[in-house]
């Protein structure tokens, strides 16, 4: 048991006074201290900020609360006139090399920043942290009134990278960033330079890259000033971009640490198709990866494949049986993902599939060269092992009858029918619908075709048809589509892969007819969509061409099976619920639909959190592409240090406290018992003005700031309050006080 500012506090022995006070809601200023950096060394000779000094009964000299530990009976005072003067002197030393216009700018309350009302030159203005800078908050809290010169940037002390801006002009020598880089992350890119006894952070080489910076952003997170700033908004972009919500940073980090089993467990806790996604996902996470702004995105998809191919699956956690039964129509990625989710929640699931094997488009539409049938079968078997019943070769004709057999029915039939190409000659031999062509090829019944094939369409199915034709021996494959190259709906990597195997792509041509002489005629497509974005192609009949081919594959889109349509009383997922979707989007849609079904049963719609590995102590270079990950998520796990109270020196109104106020010009703020602001008053004598309110029952607390131009400052504060609250404080009744 110790006593701080008259309050008895029960705290374990060995706790720092700073932590004990924070636990009791008592603020002690401490600039160089950060809760995640305690115990980490800074630089030889570094003495700290000297702001956290406190007085201890029985000791002659003040002690630093950040390292002084508690012991039974300790009596501590955190606020006395001598402590305030020492803190102001320490803060003056900190500001000695940190000229900053906004600290003393009288327009900063409610400042719009552009244009500057005081006409401060652009190069001397405040940093972007105006209003949330720790130095600014401490300046107000300590009632610091010494003049601070305008900020004049030395461009030699500024550096930039793709993600961060470094302005060492604003460094106050707290060395939080150095301890974070060297101790917490063990990267070692940052060090400290010392000049005239003052410390300043700096890179150990000429540039961040040469210093070995990993661009993790930890330094920006702990920096209390604008010395290190994000140039773009910080976020865990890969995780946000994943439709299925995979915890990308965690499994990539696990791989970098050599914990491939943990990585596979994290992936399989979120999706049932880790091996499939490692081969066919279009990887929106990689498109969003922040590493791409520096050099190249991390190969996230390949890492997923590595983990799930390397580690055999383990039975996932499953909740006790609920007695609820769910019927799912369609065993594609959406339907099977929903079944996997619902089975893990303890529900009995039956999947009904028309084809002889489960998998949907995974099994029947994607070329085997990209997605082997045994990989799909392995993932499906894992879902079956959860207790999911999968009935293949079962066509559902009547959803209403099915609904009477189950507590809920999910329709996940996809878009199994290819759209018909409406031109003369489409019905002759040697012309295939795209999906039918792929199904035939994947079933092992090779379609009869020649060595010159023509594919009509610009989407992913068209690319898959072209790749399958090449895989099956076609020597010359040409894709012709309406869209210009930048408008094609196919993924860029699908088109790139097709071109790599020799497929030719011809843009902005539409079919006119398919001749019996093995020649297909096309006309130039001028535009595909109208002004409202609707599909309405226009053509130039004067520009035509013809191409000769042994066979034509029409892959111009997909549509639902009209015999099975979801009504409002059924749940829907995947393409039939709003597609066409990519594989990862179909999986995400299946999970979302399963969550809705679980909630309809009274569940929470959530899966258990996967086992996440402890954050590593180091971000040093490892082996493989996983080590290139910036680990953006770790920055968000850092705790937030205590900030100075919003109203700096809030004290109880009493005769004794009134004597602590200086007999100088300034602005007095008065608060009620609920700490709500009642009055803002400019005065030539703060002590004398405060004395008028000692016996006032309504006023309980006060704060003040020194300012020789107190009438102007009073007006500024009242205007700022009016701007924020839409009204004046209760004690201000005359609007003339604003002017």
pLDDT in the model for residue 123:
66
pLDDT in the model for residue 735:
54
Confidence of residue 568 (pLDDT cuts 50, 70, 90): confident
Q: DSSP letters along 40-104, please?
A: ----TT----S--EEEETT-SS-EETTTPBP-TT-EEE---HHHHHHHHHHHHHHHTT---GGGT
- Between these two residues, 182 and 103, which has the higher pLDDT value? 182
Residue 110 confidence (pLDDT) above 60: no
Torsion of CA 364, 367, 373, 378, to 10 degrees: -100
Residue 371 confidence (pLDDT) above 90: yes
pLDDT in the model for residue 659:
83
pLDDT in the model for residue 737:
47
SS3 of residue 292 by DSSP = helix
pLDDT in tens, 464-503: 999 999 989 899 999 999 999 889 999 998 999 999 999 9
Mean pLDDT for all residues in the chain:
88
Q: Which of 466, 445, 424 is nearest to 555 (CA)?
A: 466
Question: Residue 369 and residue 35: Cα distance in Å, rounded?
Answer: 52
pLDDT in the model for residue 617:
47
Residue with tokens 């996902």: 281
pLDDT in tens, 111-165: 666 677 677 777 667 677 777 788 888 887 887 777 766 667 788 899 999 999 9
pLDDT in the model for residue 83:
93
Residue with tokens 């000779």: 45
Domains and CATH numbers, the chain: 237-314+614-635 (1.10.1060.10), 325-416+560-600 (3.50.50.60), 417-559 (3.50.50.60), 651-738 (3.40.1440.10)
Residue 603 confidence (pLDDT) above 90: yes
pLDDT in the model for residue 644:
84
Q: Which of 243, 189, 252 is nearest to 632 (CA)?
A: 252
Phi-psi label, residue 459: left if phi above 0, alpha if psi -120 to 50, beta otherwise = beta
Question: Residue 691 and residue 670: Cα distance in Å, rounded?
Answer: 12
pLDDT in the model for residue 739:
45
Average pLDDT over residues 540-566: 87
Q: How far is CA 26 from CA 57, 71, 401, in A?
A: 18, 18, 67
Question: Could you tell me what percent of the chain has a pLDDT over 90?
Answer: 61
Confidence of residue 81 (pLDDT cuts 50, 70, 90): confident
Query: Structure pTM?
Result: 0.81
pLDDT in the model for residue 733:
61
Residue 19 tokens, joined: 């932590």
Average pLDDT over residues 331-335: 96
Average pLDDT over residues 403-416: 92
- Between these two residues, 187 and 657, which has the higher pLDDT value? 187
Residue 337 confidence (pLDDT) above 80: yes
pLDDT in the model for residue 130:
73
């Amino acid at each position: 048991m110790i006593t701080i500012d008259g309050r008895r506090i029960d705290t374990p022995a060995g706790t720092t006074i700073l932590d004990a006070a924070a636990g009791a809601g008592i603020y002690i200023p401490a600039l160089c201290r950060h809760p995640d950096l305690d115990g980490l060394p800074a630089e030889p000779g570094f003495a700290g900020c000297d702001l956290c000094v406190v007085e201890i009964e029985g000791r002659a000299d003040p002690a630093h609360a950040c390292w002084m530990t508690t012991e039974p009976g300790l009596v501590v005072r955190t606020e006395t006139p001598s402590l305030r003067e020492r803190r102001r002197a320490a803060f003056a030393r900190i500001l000695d090399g940190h000229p900053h216009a906004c600290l003393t700018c009288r327009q900063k309350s409610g400042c719009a920043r552009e244009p500057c009302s005081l006409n401060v030159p652009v190069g001397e203005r405040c940093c972007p942290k105006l209003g949330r800078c720790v130095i600014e908050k401490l300046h107000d809290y300590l009632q610091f009134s010494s003049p601070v010169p305008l900020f004049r940037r030395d461009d030699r002390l500024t550096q930039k990278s793709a993600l961060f801006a470094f302005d060492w002009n604003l460094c106050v020598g707290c060395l939080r960033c150095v301890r974070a880089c060297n101790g917490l992350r063990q990267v070692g890119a940052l060090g400290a330079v010392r000049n005239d006894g003052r410390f300043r952070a700096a890179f150990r080489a000429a540039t961040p890259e040469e210093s070995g910076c990993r661009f993790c952003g930890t330094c920006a997170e702990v920096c209390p000033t604008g010395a290190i700033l994000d140039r773009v908004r910080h976020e865990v972009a890969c995780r946000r971009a994943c439709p299925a919500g995979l915890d990308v940073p965690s499994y990539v980090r696990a791989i970098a640490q050599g914990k491939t089993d943990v990585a596979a467990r994290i992936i399989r806790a979120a999706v049932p198709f880790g091996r499939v996604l490692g081969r066919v996902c279009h990887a929106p996470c990689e498109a969003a990866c922040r590493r791409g702004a520096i050099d190249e995105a991390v190969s996230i998809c390949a890492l997923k494949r590595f983990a799930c191919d390397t580690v055999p699956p383990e039975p996932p956690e499953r909740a006790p049986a609920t007695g609820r039964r769910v019927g799912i129509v369609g065993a594609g990625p959406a339907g099977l993902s929903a079944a996997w989710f619902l089975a893990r929640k303890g529900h009995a699931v039956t999947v009904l599939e028309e084809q002889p094997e489960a998998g949907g488009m995974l099994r029947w539409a994607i070329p085997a060269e990209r997605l082997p049938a045994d990989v799909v079968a392995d993932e499906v078997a894992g879902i079956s092992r959860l207790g999911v019943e999968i009935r293949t070769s079962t066509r559902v004709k009547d959803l209403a009858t099915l609904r009477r057999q189950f507590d809920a029915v999910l329709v996940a039939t996809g878009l199994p029918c290819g759209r018909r190409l409406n031109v003369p000659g489409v019905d002759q031999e040697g012309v295939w619908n795209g999906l039918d062509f792929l199904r035939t090829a994947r079933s092992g019944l090779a379609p009869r075709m020649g060595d010159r094939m023509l594919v009509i369409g610009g989407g992913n199915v068209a690319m898959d048809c072209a790749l399958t034709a090449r895989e099956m021996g076609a020597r010359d494959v040409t894709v012709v589509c309406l869209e210009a190259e930048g408008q094609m709906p196919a993924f860029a990597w699908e088109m790139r892969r097709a071109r790599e195997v020799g497929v030719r792509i011809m843009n902005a041509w539409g079919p006119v007819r398919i001749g019996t002489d093995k020649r297909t005629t096309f006309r130039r497509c001028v535009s595909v969509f109208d002004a409202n974005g609707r599909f309405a192609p226009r053509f130039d009949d004067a520009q035509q061409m013809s191409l000769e081919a042994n066979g034509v594959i029409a892959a111009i889109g997909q549509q639902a099976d009209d015999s099975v349509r979801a009504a409002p009383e059924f749940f829907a997922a995947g393409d039939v619920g709003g597609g066409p979707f990519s594989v990862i989007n179909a999986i995400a849609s299946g999970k979302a639909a399963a969550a809705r079904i679980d909630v309809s049963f009274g569940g929470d719609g959530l899966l258990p959190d996967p086992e996440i590995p402890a954050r590593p102590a180091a971000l040093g270079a490892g082996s493989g592409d996983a080590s290139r990950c910036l680990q953006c998520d770790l920055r968000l796990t850092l705790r937030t240090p205590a900030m100075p109270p919003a109203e700096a020196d809030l004290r109880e109104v009493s005769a004794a406290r009134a004597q602590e106020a200086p007999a100088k010009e300034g602005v007095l703020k008065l608060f009620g018992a609920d700490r709500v602001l009642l009055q803002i008053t400019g005065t030539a004598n703060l002590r004398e003005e405060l004395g008028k309110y000692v016996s006032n029952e309504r006023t309980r607390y006060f704060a003040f700031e020194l300012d020789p131009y107190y009438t102007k400052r009073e007006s500024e504060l009242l205007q700022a309050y009016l701007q924020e609250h839409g009204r004046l404080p209760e004690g201000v009744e005359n609007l003339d006080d604003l002017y």
